[in-house]
Chain A
Amino acid sequence: MKLQEYTQSRANFEECMKCTVCTAYCPVLQVNPLYPGPKQAGPDGERLRLKDPYFFNYALKYCLNCKRCEVACPSGVHVADLIQTARIKYDKSNPKLRDRILASTDFMGKMVRPVAPIANVATGLGITKTVLDATLKIDHRRQFPAYSGRSFEGWLKRRAKEQAAFPEQVAYFHGCYVNYNYPQLGKDLVKVMNALGIGVQLLDKEKCCGIAMITNGMSKEATKHANHNVAVLQKAVDAGLKVVTTSSTCVFTIRDEYPGVLGVDNAAVHDAIFMATRLIYEKLEKGATLKFKADYHKKIAYHTPCHMEKLGWGVFSENLMRMIPGVEFTVLDSACCGIAGTYGFKKENYEASQAIGAPLFAQIQSVNPDIVACDCETCKWQIEMSTGYKVMNPISILAEALAD
C-alpha cells in the first residue's frame, strides 16, 4: 500500500475542519446550554476520549440523535455516530427503569395489547400521568400513543394467501408502531401496494429495530435485535424480495445505525431495504400508474422527519403526494419537531423538546393545513399533541386518495 495515499479515521472524525456548521444546525444547542454541541461532543471530544475515557462528558445524553449535524457536515464526518458510540462505550451508568420501559417498544406492545382498551383509558387519565411523572419521570404533559387490540401481523397473516397471488412481491418491515399501535398504516400500505399489483409479505419474525434501545443505553439488547433482523432480512433478500418500511426511523436504523453505531455488518441487506414511498415512486417513474379519486381536495403540509432528511428520501414522499390531483401542497421548513423518539417523553427533556419544536408548530399553525404529512410516528405524536393538527403518513394519504 502507498503510504499516506489516503487517511482514514473512525467515523471520519479527523476530516473535521472545525467549520462549526454542525453546531449552527444543532437543534439542541439552540435551547439547551448544557449541551456541548455536535463538534465539541463529536470530533473534538473524541481526541480527548482517546487519551482517557475520563474526558467523556455525560452531557452527551442531551443529543437527540437527529443526525442534522451529519447532514450539515461538508466533510463527511459522522458526528452523531461519534456521539452515540461514545455514549455506548463510556457511559457506565445503567439505564433507569423508565428508560428500559420506554426503549422496550416490542415488549411493551406484546404486554399491553391484550388489555389495550383498559390501558388506553388508563394512560389518558390525569391520575396515571401524575403517577408516571412522579414515579418514573415520564412527563405528565405527554400524550401516550394508543395501543391496538389486534396486531397487524395477525391481520396480514390471515390474508397471506390472497397477497401471495399477486405477481410481484415485497416484504414489509412494519415496526412496533404499526403492529401494536396503529395497524391501519400497514393496511394502507397493503392497499397501495396491491393497487400497483404488488403483494405484501411479512418477514420471518422481525424484531423492533432497536433505535430506542440505542439511545437509552441498552446497546447490548439493540445489537441482539440488529443481528436477528439482519438474518431475517437476509432470508428475504435470498428469496429475491425487496423490503419496505413505512417508518423513516426504522429504515434509517437498519441501514445506517446498525453498522455505524452498533458495528453490525449489514452490507448484504443494506441496499434491499427502502421507504415504501421510494419504491412506489420508482415504480411510477417506470410507468406503473395509480388511479386517484377525482374529488380529493386536501391542503397538505409535509414535515420531513430528521432521519428522512439524513437518508435524503423526503423527495420521494413529497413527489408522491404532489401527484395526487386536488392536493394543495406545502413543504414545511426542515426542522426537528423535538420529540426524537423517547427523548421528549422524559421529564427532564420536556421543556427542551417543546422549545425545539416551537418554530415548526408555529409554521404549521400559519399554513393551517387539513393534514400534516409525515413519515415518522413519533413526529406524528409530537405534532398532534403540540398543534392539534391531524398527522398522517404519506402512505395513508395515498391510500385515502386512491379511487376505489
Chain B
Amino acid sequence: MNPDEFDVIIIGGGITGAGTQRDCAMRGLRTLLIEKSDIATGATGRNHGLLHSGARYAVNDPESARECIEENMILRRIAAHCIDETDGLFITLPEDDLAYQQTFVQSCQAAGINAEIIDPDLARRLEPSVNPALIGAVKVPDGSVDPFRLCAANMLDAKLRGGQVRLHTDVTGFIREGDTIKGVHTRSRATGEEKDYYASVVVNAGGIWGHNIAQMAGVQVGMFPAKGALLIFAHRVNNMVINRCRKPSNADILVPGDTVCIIGTTSTRIPFEECDEVAVTPDEVNLLISEGSLLAPSLSSTRILRAYAGVRPLVSADNDPSGRNISRGIVCLDHETRDGLKGFVTITGGKLMTYRLMAEMATDCVCRKLGVDKACETATTPLPGSEERSYEAVAQKIWESPSTAQKAAAARMGTRASRIRTGDRRDEALICECEEVSVGEINAAIERMEVSTLTDLRRRTRVGMGTCQGEFCACRAAGLLAKAHGCIARERADLNDFLQERWKGNFPIGWGDTLREAEYTQWVYKHVLGV
C-alpha cells in the first residue's frame, strides 16, 4: 500500500481537526492531519478556555445550550485532565434587570442545565473575588478547559491509533479528478519540501481559514471572521467562572484557568486579510478591564500578563449569503450533496465546547462516504491521560511523595505523567519555575508530541506561560530542543522568535510589573546572553 495514501485527510490542527482525526482513527480509518502551523494556533487556543454549561446560550440559542450541557458532561468523563470542575456564577449587578434572572433560569432548566438561584451572601462566600454589590446570583455547572491540552490529547490518541500528523505544512492545492477530490498538494514550512497525499475523503476543518480552503477546492462557504480580544491576569483571582446574568455582551466572562484567569471577550467583524495577524487595540484593553472590574473589582489593580485575540469562524446560513443571520451552531457540509464535489467535507461553526460532537458529525459523514459502519465511541472512551478523575489520584499512584513539580505535571499530563523519567536529579531539575515544569516533562513532550519550536513546546507544557513569560525558562528549554534536534543555529533563531512572540502579548498591556519584567527579560537575553 502506498504510504502516502489514506482513507481520510483532515486539514486543520485545531480542536475540530484533532477531534475528527481521533474519531476517524477510532473507527479504524487510516488518517492524516495537516496543519499549516501548530496544533491549537487558531480559535482553539485563542478563547477563554470556558467549559460552557450552556447557560450563556440558554435564552437566545437553546439548541447550542443543549449541545453545550451534553458535551460538558461528556468532557468531564473523557477529558478529566484537561478540565477544572469549578462551577460558575451568573451574577446580577444593581445596574442589571433582576427580572432577567427568572427568564434565564427557566431557559436553563428547559435546556437541561442545572441552574440554581443562590443567595447573594452565599455567592460572596463561594467566590470571595466577586463584586460584592451583586443583587442576585445563579450557580451553574460551568468550568474551565485547557484547549491546548485537549487538542494535544486528541492528536496523541489519533497517533496512538496509527494516525499521522504533519504540522507546519501548508496545503497548497487539491488533487482533483473531474468532480472528485483525490488528495492534496502540500509544502513543508520547515524544509520547503513539496509532497502529495491521497485520500478518499478530505475534511476541511480549517476554522476561519476553512473559507479559503473551500475556495481552493472550488466551493464557497460563507464565513465571517469575528475578532475577540481577551486579557490574561497573572494569577487566579477567582476560583469559579463569573458571568453577568444579562443578554450576552462584551467582556462579561471571567474564567479561572490553571494558574491564571482570563477576561473576555469583545466581538468585532474583521476582513479576511487580517485573520493571520490580529492585534489587540487600546480600546479593547480598556473595555476588558473596566467591564471585567464589574465582575471582580480586584481586576482593576491586578497585574495583567498578556493580551491576545482570536478569530471566531462564524458561518452564515446557506440561504443567507449576506451573513446577517449568523448562527454559532455546528455546520457540517457534504460538498457532494451541496455542490456536487465528491470526496470533500467541511466541518465548521460550533465552538470548542462542541468539538467532539462536530468531530462525530464529520466522521459520520466520512464513514457514510466510505461505507464504514462503526459507531462513534468518543463520548465514552477517555482521552490518553484522562483515565483518572483527579490529579491527586494520578500523582499518588506514580510517586510516593510527589514534589510540587510532579503534582503540577500530574495536573497537566494526567496519567501520562507516568512517562516522565525520574530518579536522575537532572530529569527533576526545573526548566520553568513559574509553572513547575521539569526537564523530564519537557523531554517527554519532545519525544511524543510533535514539537519543533519553543512555541509548540509552550502549548504542550505551559513553559513560558507563567509570570516570567520565558525570561528564565526559554533559554533552558531552547537548550533541550537544540539537543533533541541536533541544531544550535536553528534553535537560536527559534529562541528569538519565541521571545518576540511573548513580547507581542505583553505589548498591549505593557505597563507596571509586566513592563518591568519584559525590560528585565530583554536585558538578560540581549545584554547577558547576546541573543
Contact = CB atoms under 8 A, between A and B. Distances in A.
Interface of A: 1, 3-9, 13-20, 36, 39-40, 44-48, 50-51, 54-55, 57
Interface in B244-303: 256, 258-259, 286, 289-290, 293, 300-303
A45 B468 CA distance: 14
B136 to A, nearest CB: 25
Interface in B136-152: none
A9 B259 CA distance: 15
Interface in B420-435: 433-434
A18 B290 contact: no
B520 A19 contact: yes
Contacts of A39: 433
A21 to B, nearest CB: 12
B404 A47 contact: no
A7 B289 CA distance: 13
Nearest to B432: A44
Contact of B433 (A5, A8, A44, A57): A44
Contact of B236 (A6, A13, A17, A50): A50
Contacts of B302: 7-9, 14
Given A1-B300, A47-B259, A14 B408 contact: no
Interface string B407-448: 110000000000000000000000001101000000000000
Interface stretch (B1-9, B167-175, B356-364, B509-517): B509-517
25 contacts: A3-B289, A3-B293, A3-B300, A6-B512, A9-B235, A9-B302, A14-B235, A15-B513, A17-B516, A17-B520, A18-B434, A18-B517, A20-B472, A44-B434, A45-B404, A47-B235, A47-B466, A48-B259, A50-B236, A51-B236, A51-B258, A51-B259, A55-B404, A55-B407, A55-B408
B320 to A, nearest CB: 40
A44 B432 CA distance: 10
A51 B512 CA distance: 24
Interface in B119-154: none
B106 interface: no
A7 B513 contact: yes
Contact of A18 (B234, B300, B467): B467
B433 A54 contact: no
Given A3-B300, A8-B301, A51-B236, A36 B259 contact: no
Listed from nearest, the 4 A-B pairs whose CB atoms lie closest are A14-B303, A18-B468, A47-B259, A7-B303
Nearest to A41: B404
B403 interface: yes
Contacts of A4: 289, 300-301, 304, 511-512
Given A3-B290, A19-B520, A47 B467 contact: yes
B471 interface: yes
Nearest to B300: A3
B392 interface: yes
A3 B286 contact: yes
Nearest to A58: B401
A57 B404 contact: yes
Q: Considering residues A5, A14, A55, which has the most beta carbons from chain B within 10 angstroms of its beta carbon?
A: A14
B517 A7 contact: no
B518 to A, nearest CB: 10
Interface in B486-531: 511-513, 516-517, 520
Nearest to A40: B433
Contacts of B392: 54
Contacts of A55: 404, 407-408
A54 B511 CA distance: 33
Contacts of A16: 467
Given A3-B293, A57-B404, A47 B434 contact: yes
A397 to B, nearest CB: 44
Contacts of A45: 404
A14 B433 CA distance: 14
Interface in B346-398: 391-392
Contacts of A17: 468, 513, 516-517, 520
Nearest to B297: A1
Contacts of B512: 4, 6-7
A40 B303 CA distance: 19
A351 B182 CA distance: 73
Contact of A7 (B256, B293, B301, B434): B301
Contacts of A51: 236, 256, 258-259
Given A4-B511, A51-B236, 15 more contacts: A4-B289, A4-B300, A4-B512, A7-B301, A7-B513, A14-B234, A14-B467, A15-B513, A17-B520, A20-B472, A44-B434, A47-B434, A50-B235, A51-B259, A57-B403
B433 A9 contact: no
Interface string B202-244: 0000000000000000000000000000000011100000000
Nearest to B404: A57
Contacts of A7: 301-303, 512-513
Nearest to B302: A7
A36 B289 contact: no
Nearest to B469: A18
A48 B467 contact: no
A40 B466 CA distance: 13
Contacts of B259: 47-48, 50-51
A51 B235 CA distance: 9
Interface in B457-479: 466-468, 471-472
B302 to A, nearest CB: 6
A46 B467 CA distance: 12
Given A18-B472, A47-B434, A54 B301 contact: no
Interface in B19-38: none
B257 to A, nearest CB: 9
Contacts of B513: 7, 14-15, 17
Nearest to A5: B301
Contact of A47 (B236, B304, B472, B516): B236
Contacts of B303: 7, 9, 14
B250 to A, nearest CB: 15
A194 B417 CA distance: 69
Contacts of B286: 3
Nearest to B509: A4
Nearest to A14: B303
Contacts of B472: 18, 20
Contacts of B391: 54
Contacts of B404: 36, 40, 45, 48, 55, 57
Contacts of A1: 300
A113 B230 CA distance: 66
A291 B478 CA distance: 67
A20 B468 CA distance: 12
A38 B285 CA distance: 34
Contacts of B517: 17-18
Contacts of A18: 433-434, 467-468, 471-472, 517
B434 A46 contact: no
A39 B434 CA distance: 10
A46 B235 contact: yes
Contacts of B434: 18, 44, 47
A44 B398 CA distance: 24
A4 B234 CA distance: 13
A5 to B, nearest CB: 8
Contacts of A15: 513
Contacts of A47: 234-236, 259, 434, 466-467
A59 to B, nearest CB: 8
Q: Considering residues B290, B404, B434, which has the most beta carbons from chain A within 10 angstroms of its beta carbon?
A: B404
A55 B408 CA distance: 8
B511 A48 contact: no
A16 B517 CA distance: 9
Nearest to B260: A47
B499 to A, nearest CB: 15
B16 to A, nearest CB: 28
A7 B516 CA distance: 13
B527 to A, nearest CB: 14
A45 B404 CA distance: 8
